Chains A and B, each alone.
Chain A
Amino acid sequence: MPLPSSKRRQKPVASPKSQIQGSAHTRVLRRRQRLPHSPHIPAPSSLVSIPPQDSYDGALSQIESLLESILDAVINGTDLVIPYQTVRPSPGVPPVVSLEGGARQMTTEVVKFPGRNIQEVKRFDAIFRILELSHEALLTGNLITKRNIYYQNTELFRSQSVVDDMVDNLAFTLGVGRGDLNIVAAARGLIAGPIDVMMRGGATVQYGHGLSGGNGNLIPPINSVDKVDFHNTRWLLVIEKEATFRTLANSGYSSTSRAGHGILVTAKGFPDLATRRFLSTLHSVRPQLNVFALVDFDPHGVSILRTYQYGSQRLDHEENVTLPHLKWLGIRSSDIMSRSSIIMSHSLQDSQSGDSQTSQEFASQGSLAYSFGGSDDERPAKRPKSNYPRDSNESVAPLTLDDRKKAVSVMKQICGEKGFESAGLEQMQELQRMLMLNVKAEIQTVDNFGDITDWLDERLSV
């Protein structure tokens, strides 16, 4: 039965207040000791401390008062109530509407026990279970993954996405971030580069120069990171595609780049919260690190870039997860146009030979046979560089109907912002160009037989 057992109910009451205050006290002390290392006064050394995530006490006390109120309700024999707000737009409302209006869909409701139906009873049980697990995680200082919560009772939660939604909604209702509940998503992002990460438990992870093992190095939850030694890294490159990341990591690009040592990161597509929080924190403790993004030239690439920069719509209540200084390294329309046949005919020789009079004729009567003979001698001048021998036009594809719709929706998002930053204007112009050209291109467009390092060297050197 979903009714909470008396043992569970004991827990919030049994937890002595002194214990919480005690832990808060030591945390304050630790924070004071760290003050000289605050981001505003960069430490001379490359070793930087990660400040502990705040509002620890806030989330804990909120959960405790919530659990206490439930206990009171049990004693008084009244309904058990958990406030519960949903951040996700209801299925009937197309997301575009909420985009245009700039208003977030928000349904305020409570989940009661006993409920009006069996679904509500189950929901109450599930939410209560998450609260309980979060409470325990907060007390012990451990982190619990959403995956782990799901496996606590697969029958109750039914699917992983139910847990994901409930955790986000619960965090939104309590006005805290997901991480403040000590609940994290299983790491998805990968990292490579010559940096050392010291965990709060005392362990040190050296990310080395390449990938250790076949799975790469998972990005650690930022809450569990104590210090990071950046050594002499100068740049950080966020890559949309895992394949590109692996190629670069395997070749040791983070140490061999002509732009100096650097860090490679991928979140395999749209970034997860853990990766975004990790990057945001890294940038706040190490502002001198230049951060770049390498994404596909398509509406989703721009959208991924914007998610790193400004966060996502759904998880707008999360804090410290944005990276507004992230620079858009590529790829851009100029990268495509300079090496595809779009402007290939623009050769130096041709423009010197000047205007007119080249007597280009209409082929007679429907003949489709082109004559190439006369243009052979022009060809060498046409190549921007001899090291781009491939006709990269092959990797340029037309936009689909969905791509075009997505592009317009991202443009509306850019336009909806207060103050149209220069980054927004740049993205707007690239999207307009994309729509006019009606082409998209993957990162691989700019590589040279799979070797993208020359292109990167040029652009990472700032």
Chain B
Amino acid sequence: MSKQYLTAHTVDQAHPTEIFSLAPTPTSLFSASGSSALRIHTTTDPTFPLQQTIPNAHKLGCHHVCTARGGAGHVAATVGFGGEIKVWTCKDKDGNVGGEWTLQWETTPSSNGGKNAATNAPGRGRSVGGDVWAIALSTDEGFLACTTSDGRIHVWDLAGRECIQTYETGGSSGGGSFAMAVDLSRDGRLTASGHESGAVYVFNNDAGRLVYSLSGLAKPIRAVAFSPGGKLLAAAGNAGIIALYSVDHGEHVGNTKPSSDRPAWITSLDWNYTGDYLLSGALDGRVKVWDPTRGICLATHSETDGALWSVRWLPRNERALAPGMSKGEMFCAAGASRSISFYREATGS
């Protein structure tokens, strides 16, 4: 059995330079690119109109944007190439939702180091720690996990605006492998990180310790994602295949066969809201839908031959986008083409 997805709409030239990251809320989609502005498109209208542009958000460009998976969609976080984290909200001062997204607060952990920097020896006279790279928001939008280029994972309390937990993956001298990907489980109990060395670590946030050290792909990991039920963890990267791990036992339960002898690097992974399907995007411009339980690739789309940097499911909507359209699930993809492509499930399949 296969599923059919159709191109619902393409927002051409959504950004002036290539798009590095996408993050949906229930009603909109954030996109971040090599240029300084963030863009927010409405996803409840079949033409996906531009809702808001946040100019000069990140001077050197923005490589990651995240929202809470399965969350209310009132908070978003972004990381710029300069190493700065910015947290945005659509709540006003009285806590009312709606209206424009505004900056809530920002921090540059590599320069002020947050809470943990003070306890760290200055080292070789450089700024403490590496620059921030990947980020993930907890479902309740209260915590932010971020990775660094020297292999650390920080967990921030957004209400208190402080770093409450730091996981070191290197030796006592620091210097862990570049943490290229991070995710938080929906219940907020676990943090997973994917590293340049090919390692995948799972940490328990309550106990503040390492639970599993998972191996299997040996090549740099560019995406990690907990399933919505929290039973499975998917990881992928330069190996070009997706590895699945059981979260309960830390077992490697399977991985995809490569599509060729040299599969393209996978840059992005996302589970749909039921956990039935897994979406992947790769540098060869292909977005694929997988059935993880049966181990089958259900659909492949390659609208662009440019690299894809980010693929995301849109949260399920009860209403169809337009009369005559199905209520089927939708996903989106973006990358070097600078456009955002939206796909929807074909009716009657």
Enumerate chain A interface residues (CB-CB to B < 8 A): 337, 341-347, 350-351, 355-368, 370-372, 375, 378-379, 382, 398, 401, 404-405, 408, 411-412, 415, 425, 428-429, 432-433, 435-436, 438
The docked-state distance in angstroms from the alpha carbon of A425 to that of B255 is 40
Is there contact, CB below 8 Å, between B292 and A362? yes
Is there contact, CB below 8 Å, between B296 and A401? no
Contact of B180 among A337, A375, A438 (CB under 8 A): A438
Give the chain B neighbours of A401 by CB distance below 8 A: 130, 149-150, 175, 178
Is there contact, CB below 8 Å, between B2 and A347? no
Contact of B297 among A347, A358, A371 (CB under 8 A): A358
Give the chain A neighbours of B189 by CB distance below 8 A: none
Is there contact, CB below 8 Å, between A432 and B196? no
Q: Which 5 pairs, one residue from A and one from B, show the smallest C-beta to C-beta distance?
A: A362-B295, A344-B262, A362-B254, A346-B284, A341-B262
Contact of A343 among B59, B83, B264 (CB under 8 A): B264
**What is the CB-to-nearest-CB distance from B180 to chain A, in angstroms, rounded to a whole number?**
7
Is there contact, CB below 8 Å, between A428 and B295? no
Question: Tally of A-B residue pairs with Cβ under 8 A?
Answer: 153
The docked-state distance in angstroms from the alpha carbon of A438 to that of B131 is 13
Contact of B260 among A345, A362, A366, A432 (CB under 8 A): A345
Is there contact, CB below 8 Å, between A351 and B259? no
Is there contact, CB below 8 Å, between B297 and A408? no
Apart from A357-B2, A362-B255, A382-B260, what are 5 other A-B pairs with CB-CB below 8 Å? A356-B299, A398-B196, A408-B83, A429-B17, A438-B220
Is there contact, CB below 8 Å, between A337 and B283? yes
Give the chain B neighbours of A415 by CB distance below 8 A: 59-60
Scan residues 245-281 of chain B and give those whose CB is less than 8 A from a CB of chain A: 251-265
The docked-state distance in angstroms from the alpha carbon of A346 to that of B283 is 9
B240 CB-CB contact with A under 8 Å: yes
Scan residues 103-144 of chain B and give those whose CB is less than 8 A from a CB of chain A: 126, 130-131
Scan residues 232-254 of chain B and give those whose CB is less than 8 A from a CB of chain A: 240-242, 244, 251-254
Q: Which residue of A lies closest to B216 (CB)?
A: A368
Is there contact, CB below 8 Å, between B255 and A368? yes
Is there contact, CB below 8 Å, between B60 and A408? yes
The docked-state distance in angstroms from the alpha carbon of A392 to that of B342 is 35
Give the chain B neighbours of A412 by CB distance below 8 A: 60, 82
Give the chain B neighbours of A344 by CB distance below 8 A: 260, 262, 264
Q: Given that A368-B216, A375-B260 are contacting pairs, would A343 and B82 also be in contact in the complex, using a CB cutoff of 8 Å?
A: no
Q: Which residue of B lies closest to A366 (CB)?
A: B252
The docked-state distance in angstroms from the alpha carbon of A379 to that of B241 is 18
Scan residues 297-344 of chain B and give those whose CB is less than 8 A from a CB of chain A: 297-302, 305, 307, 309
Is there contact, CB below 8 Å, between B264 and A355? no
Contact of A359 among B241, B254, B297 (CB under 8 A): B297
Which interface residue of A344, A345, A382, A429 has the most chain B CB atoms within 10 A? Answer: A345
The docked-state distance in angstroms from the alpha carbon of A372 to that of B3 is 26
Q: Given that A342-B264, A408-B131, A438-B178 are contacting pairs, would A361 and B196 also be in contact in the complex, using a CB cutoff of 8 Å?
A: no
Contact of B259 among A358, A368, A408 (CB under 8 A): A358
Is there contact, CB below 8 Å, between B130 and A404? yes
The docked-state distance in angstroms from the alpha carbon of A412 to that of B292 is 43
Give the chain A neighbours of B2 by CB distance below 8 A: 356-357
Give the chain B neighbours of A363 by CB distance below 8 A: 254-257
Contact of A360 among B180, B216, B244, B259 (CB under 8 A): B259
Give the chain A neighbours of B194 by CB distance below 8 A: none
Give the chain A neighbours of B299 by CB distance below 8 A: 355-356
Q: Given that A337-B307, A351-B302 are contacting pairs, would A362 and B261 also be in contact in the complex, using a CB cutoff of 8 Å?
A: no
B61 CB-CB contact with A under 8 Å: yes
Give the chain A neighbours of B302 by CB distance below 8 A: 346, 351
The docked-state distance in angstroms from the alpha carbon of A171 to that of B4 is 71
Q: Given that A345-B263, A412-B60, A436-B309 are contacting pairs, would A366 and B178 also be in contact in the complex, using a CB cutoff of 8 Å?
A: no
Q: Given that A408-B83, A429-B18 are contacting pairs, would A378 and B284 also be in contact in the complex, using a CB cutoff of 8 Å?
A: no
B167 CB-CB contact with A under 8 Å: no
**What is the CB-to-nearest-CB distance from A397 to chain B, in angstroms, rounded to a whole number?**
11
The docked-state distance in angstroms from the alpha carbon of A344 to that of B263 is 7
The docked-state distance in angstroms from the alpha carbon of A367 to that of B216 is 10
Give the chain B neighbours of A378 by CB distance below 8 A: 260
B63 CB-CB contact with A under 8 Å: yes
The docked-state distance in angstroms from the alpha carbon of A51 to that of B242 is 64
Give the chain A neighbours of B81 by CB distance below 8 A: 408, 411, 432, 435
The docked-state distance in angstroms from the alpha carbon of A436 to that of B253 is 29
The docked-state distance in angstroms from the alpha carbon of A433 to that of B263 is 20
Give the chain A neighbours of B240 by CB distance below 8 A: 341, 345
